[in-house]
Amino acid sequence: MLTTSKEILLKAQAGGYAVGAFNVENMEMVQAVAEAAEELQSPVIMQTTPSTVKYAGLDYYLANVKTAAERTSVPVVMHLDHGNSFELAMQALRAGYTSIMIDGSHEAFEVNMTVSRAVANACHPSEVPVEAELGKVGGKEDDLDGGDDNPYTDPQEAKEFAERTGVDFLAVGIGTAHGVYKGEPKLQFDILSRIRDVVEIPLVLHGTSGVPDEAVKECIKRGICKVNYATDLRIAFTKGVKGVFTADTDTIDPKKYSAAGREEVKKYVMSKIKVCGSAGKAQK
């Protein structure tokens, strides 16, 4: 069933676990995430970035996820990840996305706050929750470069930002990065705890692909309620496809290699649902 993110993330916050948010780029990845969530009876968030949306359109991805949601018994959310403009956020809202992120983190504090508040004000009458980001998540997500200066979210700025914008969730910078890590990331758990002490709304961890599971669990203990995974899903899907061609270079049926990619994504998603602690938390 297709639902919004607010209810499931507030339940996660109250229950001390997190919900995995998985970036999907084709039908097989949507199927894999839905099957994994169904088997483990976990709520789940599927999301698309601006470049993914550009590839096929909001309506194509929403139709895939909506169909998958109708075939499962668990709550499924369709989320716009790293929405890079007010206009795209509104397009996703009108298309039927059930959760919206506006990412103004690459802008100055006041500009970020202004656009985030505008998106929240536009989405809330339709009861669609909004995620924003404060602080810099390193690496690169789509065409947005997180940069390397000032990577951490200031707790007092986070408090002010949450109160003045009215957003429902806040993605924070504590040392993670988008893309493939060069070495092991060093997360600032103390900053996360300080943010949690002054911010009431659920917190979000971006750039989690490649972060050790124990570090993710520690972040959840300290208040993270939504954990984003993207790059590792791409890697898993590609691994499955490559395996088919390695075994038989003459394979021409897209269903065969796509199914192999789907299976690898499903295994990965199931492992991360367990890390998040959301298995068995779906409301029938």
Q: What is the DSSP code (8-state) at residue 126?
A: G
Whole-angstrom Cα distance, residue 60 to residue 83?
Answer: 17
Which of 81, 103, 154, 232 is labelled catalytic?
81
| CB burial of residue 66 (10 Å; 0-12, 13-18, 19+) | middle
The residue extents of the domains of the chain are 2-234+269-276
pLDDT band at 283 (very low <50, low <70, confident <90, very high): confident
pLDDT of residue 149: 57
pTM assigned to the model? 0.93
Provide the pLDDT confidence category of residue 259 given band limits of 50, 70 and 90: very high
Give me the percent of the chain exceeding a pLDDT of 70: 92
d(CA 211, CA 143) in angstroms, rounded, equals 22
**pLDDT per residue as tens digits for the range 66-110:** 999 999 999 999 999 999 999 999 999 999 999 999 999 999 999
Work out the number of other CB atoms within 10 angstroms of the CB of residue 220.
22
Please report which confidence band the pLDDT of residue 1 belongs to, taking 50, 70 and 90 as the band edges: confident
> What one-letter code names the amino acid at 202?
P
Average of per-residue pLDDT values in the chain: 93
DSSP per-residue codes, 28-81 = HHHHHHHHHHHHHT--EEEEE-HHHHHHH-HHHHHHHHHHHHHT-SS-EEEEEE
The CA distance from 166 to 106, in Å, is: 19
Rounded CA-CA distance 41/74 in Å is: 6
Contacts of 175 (CB under 8 A, 6+ apart): 138, 151, 152, 185, 186, 187, 188
Does pLDDT of 12 surpass 90?
yes
pLDDT tier at 141, thresholds 50, 70, 90: very low
CA 78/CA 71 separation, integer angstroms? 15
Q: Decide if 177 contacts 197 (C-beta within 8 A).
A: no
Assigned CATH for 2-234+269-276: 3.20.20.70
Cα distance between residue 245 and residue 97, in whole Å:
36
pLDDT in tens, 13-72: 999 999 999 999 999 999 999 999 999 999 999 999 999 999 999 999 999 999 999 999
pLDDT at 176: 83
Report the distance separating Cα 192 and Cα 120, nearest Å.
24
Least confident range from 72-76, 112-116, 138-142: namely 138-142
Residue 139, pLDDT score: 47
Quick check: is 190 catalytic? no
